Amino acid sequence: MEGSATCPGSLLFCWISGQGRYGGFTGLGAKGKPAEKVADEAVSGLLAFLNSGAACDKYLSDQMLLPAVLADGESHWSTNSISNHLHTNVWVTECFGLGKVKLEEDEKLSLIKCRGAGLA
């Protein structure tokens, strides 16, 4: 198969969506980077997520926080890793008095628990 591109490199994106588990994992190529390395990066992220038993990957978890703190009642979900971005989002929501958030960090599986402010 032949094609043209505006830049060299490759990309592999793997995702899981279903059975209560959601995540996306990327391997990004670069000039001189073997395609096998790109595939290893994406697939190793996916396998680590699957082995963790988490419901959401770390990128989706920080996006879920705002709706959770605005909603009424309690929300909770698991993630395979808590990102610095999630820590920042928790800090910002606390500065605005939006609900209560508790992070229970663990090496393999972490939990995010929220009590929403009831604004949504």
pLDDT tens track for 29-61: 998 899 999 999 999 999 999 999 999 999 999
Residue 75, token pair as written in the block = 């929300």
Residue 3 has a pLDDT of 67
pLDDT tens track for 85-115: 999 999 999 999 998 999 999 888 999 999 9
Reported pTM: 0.83
Contact yes or no for 118/72 (Cβ under 8 A):
yes
pLDDT tens track for 54-79: 999 999 999 999 999 999 999 999 99
Of 47, 44, 8, give the one whose Cα is nearest residue 29.
8
Active site members? 85
The structural domains of the chain, with segments of one domain joined by +, span: 11-52, 58-115
